[in-house]
Chains A and B, each alone.
Chain A
Amino acid sequence: MCRIRCVAVLVTFFALMVAPAVSQAQYTFLVNGSFDDSPDWAQSGSGEFNAIAATYGVSPEPWQWTSNSWYQVIPPYYTGIVDGGFALANFLNNLPPGDVNLISHSHGGNVVIMSQAWSSRPIRRYIQLATPINWDFGNWRYALGYNTAGRCQASSTADWKQFFGSSPYQVGNFFYYSYQSIAGAIEAFEALLNGDYDSSYWWFAQSVFDAIEADYWLDTTKLEIEGPTFVFGGLSHAALHEPGVWNAIAPYCA
């Protein structure tokens, strides 16, 4: 009896040793930004596509949201982003089991965030390239954190499209404090020329404070607080979906 049982255990043991490991399917989807349903960077053969494929060892797929004309992505409705998020949520909900990586550009990142209003599908990695950090999307920005194992943002100091894609509240405050800083500096120089050193000092201090405030509002459009942000200097909005940027952030984000 023991011999039969022992043989069965040994057979099972060796079967488990030689059986092929059940591999988890892995999906990597590229989510487009505004104004272009099928951007070149997300297509097979592009430098970015190949770089991402080399990172994951599997070709990514370009998932598209199409309601992305200018009037569908401007505040305060953002109807295109809401519709895109709903479509993505339904897609993720019906996708077979497996790890999911989502790499998005520009407002595609906000489409992913919006999809979290409906989707509870776990996401392995969520990487935003030049996505406007838009405060209008409120609590949904933080909902993604509950389902995502890893998250990254890539921004550029010279990316004005990212800046204008943020909330008018953030953009407006930047310009308001920028104006106040310049106006304060003018007041300070006028006081200095008039020999009123006390007033001049006061206005200079106020001008510096306003400049710092303006810089804060600019940073709110670029720095993601729910994950690490890689800030590049001097790159355009489109340059953030190029292989150079991907290869720089992939070791930390992918």
Chain B
Amino acid sequence: MRPLLAVVSFSVAALLVSDAAAQTGPANMVALQAEVETVYNLSDGTQVRSSGRFYRSRSGQIREDSKLGAVITDVAAGTITMLIAETKEARVITIPPEQKQGPVRSNRPGPEVFEETTVAGHRVSKARGRGPQGQNIEFWTAKDLGVVTWTKTEAAGFTTTKELRNISTQEPSPALFAVPADYTVIEQEARSGNGPQRVLPRPRGQGSPPAR
């Protein structure tokens, strides 16, 4: 019975929100535009940089993009859209309306806050954690914006730093959360598989051997 309950609960989708939205809630969302830069420092000294932009609308739509494309999450519409620049494809994953539920707040325990300060005019909480194998993580959350503005993860000589810069609270253009006109839209329901159609349950007692 327990596995069946697990399957049922597993199959009932929850609206997914970012950790930032989980802190502020959709009703208090602050619009954001910012540059995003991720820097990876490998143990041999190699540095890899990846840059793009981050957008969040007051209604909770989120977009992060780079020269490869973008990922657009629209909680209200129940979609996640992958824009692929090379092929000009837009893959849209949609959750059926009957499976929508309310926002889910993250109750995952995080590292302890060690400092409250002001960075670039925003109140920032700095938190830090350490793992048993020496891995470190530190992140700064701008409480007034409801977004993590800086993270650093160090493990085995590999360091990842992600930063939001030049943050603006101007509402992004709605066009940023729409599929460009020259893109081919491929709708994909995440539930679908490639196997045979599911057979309807067969009530007990029905079905009998063929007559001789």
Contacts and interface: CB of A to CB of B under 8 A. Distances in A.
Contacts of A173: 195, 198
Interface string B123-157: 00000000111110100000000000001010111
A118 B71 CA distance: 11
B28 interface: no
Contact of A168 (B137, B160, B191): B191
Contacts of B178: none
B133 A91 contact: no
How many B residues touch the partner, as a band? 35 or more
B49 A94 contact: yes
B112 to A, nearest CB: 16
Interface in A61-98: 61-64, 66, 69, 71-72, 74-79, 82-83, 86-87, 89-91, 93-96
B50 A61 contact: no
A55 interface: no
Nearest to B188: A138
A167 interface: yes
Contact of B208 (A38, A42, A202, A220): A202
DSSP majority for the A interface? helix
Interface in A192-219: 198-199, 201-202, 206, 217
Interface stretch (A9-17, A43-51, A150-158): A43-51
Contact of A66 (B4, B52, B133, B151): B151
Contacts of A120: 86
Contacts of A230: none
Nearest to A60: B156
A94 B158 CA distance: 16
Interface residues of A, number: 65
B93 A77 contact: yes
Contact of B80 (A40, A77, A170): A77
B99 interface: yes
B193 A46 contact: no
A170 B84 CA distance: 28
B190 A91 contact: no
Contacts of B151: 66
Given A76-B190, A96-B46, A42 B155 contact: yes
Contacts of A77: 13, 16, 80, 93, 95, 190
Contacts of B160: 63-64
Interface of B: 3-4, 6-7, 10-11, 13-14, 16, 19, 38, 40, 42-43, 46, 48-50, 52, 64, 66, 68-69, 71, 73, 80, 82, 84-86, 91, 93, 95, 99, 104, 106, 108, 131-135, 137, 151, 153, 155-158, 160, 188-195, 198-199, 201-202, 204-205, 207-209, 212
Given A77-B190, A164-B7, 10 more contacts: A44-B133, A59-B157, A71-B104, A87-B38, A91-B38, A91-B48, A94-B49, A169-B192, A169-B193, A173-B198
